[in-house]
Amino acid sequence: MVKKLTKESLVLKEALSIPSCINNFVSKDLNNYKDVVSLIEEKKIKFIVTVARGSSDCAALFGSYIFAKYLGLPTYSMPPSIITLENSKFDFSDALVIIISQSGLSKDLIVCEESLRKMGARTLVISNNKNSPLLNCAHYFFYLNAGEEKSVAATKTFVMTLLVLLKMTLYKSNFKILSYIEKLSETLIIDEKNNWDINCIDSSINTGFILGRGVGFALSNEISLKFKELCQEQIEPFSSAEVMHGPRSLLQDSFKLFTLSINDNSGRTVSKDSKELKEYTNFFYEISFKNDSIFQYKSFELTDLDPIIIMSKFYPWIINYALKKGLNPDKPRYLTKVTQTY
């Protein structure tokens, strides 16, 4: 039975609020980017460590790429269990540790922040919860200001995390970043009616790959997570280069293959990498800025903001696709908003 597609879905309402969240961000963002960027400029930071889980970890992967690309800082994603289970010790006197937690309540991340701060790290917390216990301890706190996100599946908080990470990274190198973000909000509102078609893919196939590179690979991880959370489909994320080293052997006729081609150097290579692979399946779908793509998005004048456009279009689509499959995206099976893993 196909559920009626409706804006009454809570998670859909939250996904559709992304343009207004961005507009609100332009006028009300009070985060102190200057102090964090100054640490980096003064060479007090030699590397960055991110600690996160779920969608926040996908955002951290996005951050790790832009930190390396624009700030020249190697970034390592640390599994919380390195601290909570292994009790490992490090010299982090030259490190900036970024803890990303939408709820700000995950106990393992709270323990990690305290432990890594005691190891000498400067700690930055990014959260949508101004009452998080993390706020009282960390050296720096960036507020997402996305409004309460009640849904289990993160949408608007993921997008706002990308925006905060981008603003921090481009704070000094691109002084027009705020004006670009303001234009972006207007662009998303105008483009709201150009929705992706939920009927363009086969809902009976539940396995596949989604391929990306660069920041597109980080988005691929989040897209994969949403297919699992909301649609019960195992769409696995791979770099379009790494998939050649073994996983490509899984491709077959009844296998979904998504590619994500962002309008940048790494993204444009995805189409080339997947040129042969798409011949192995009858279910090939491209997310791209190119006009002939099944899932086409309009590239922005500052292409660093393209990921915001892509996810703003993807979230309403995946929610409506889940509804089409007869699933309830407001109540994903076996899942809760805050996961206790410690």
Do residues 226 and 315 make contact, with C-beta atoms less than 8 angstroms apart? Answer: yes
Instruction: List b or e across 83-120, with b for residues whose CB sees 16 or more CB atoms inside 10 angstroms.
Output: bbeeeeebebeebbbbbbbbbbbbebbbebbebbbeee
Domains of the chain: 10-190 (3.40.50.10490), 194-324 (3.40.50.10490)
Residues 6 or more apart in contact with residue 122 via CB below 8 angstroms: 39, 44, 45, 95, 96, 97, 139, 140
pLDDT in tens, the chain (342 residues): 344 455 589 999 999 999 999 999 988 999 999 999 999 999 899 999 999 999 999 999 999 999 999 999 999 999 999 999 999 999 999 999 999 999 998 899 999 999 999 999 999 999 999 999 998 899 999 999 999 999 999 999 999 999 999 999 999 887 788 889 889 988 888 877 778 999 999 999 999 999 999 999 999 999 999 999 999 999 999 999 999 999 999 999 999 999 999 999 888 899 888 888 999 999 999 999 998 899 999 999 999 999 999 999 999 999 999 999 999 999 999 998 877 776
